[in-house]
Amino acid sequence: MGDLKVLEWNVNQYSSSKDVPEYVINEIVRKNPDIIVLVEFKGINNAKLMEENLLDYYVTYY
């Protein structure tokens, strides 16, 4: 098995009413990691945004 590229990012959302900045998605796509961990990521709308923009990934959240 080869190396895995893991991207961990503290999005630092103080409330679920804040949208994830577009550059977050752009950087995730640009870096093309195998595993993405977003910390302090909030809001169902933001989760849907991730699902819509990261179609090549299995997305789960809680």
Neighbours of 57 (CB within 10 A): 15
Tell me what pLDDT residue 61 has: 82
Tell me what pLDDT residue 7 has: 95
Tell me what pLDDT residue 20 has: 85
Locate the domains of the chain by residue range: 6-53
**Would you state the structure tokens that stand for residue 37, as one six-digit string?**
């961990």
Residues 8-51 pLDDT 10s: 999 887 677 788 888 999 999 999 999 999 988 888 888 899 99
pLDDT at 6 over 90: yes
Euclidean distance between CA atoms 11 and 38, whole angstroms: 6
Predicted model pTM: 0.78
Exposure string over 11-46, b if 16+ CB within 10 A, otherwise e: eebeeeeeebeeebeeebeeeebeebebeebbbeeb
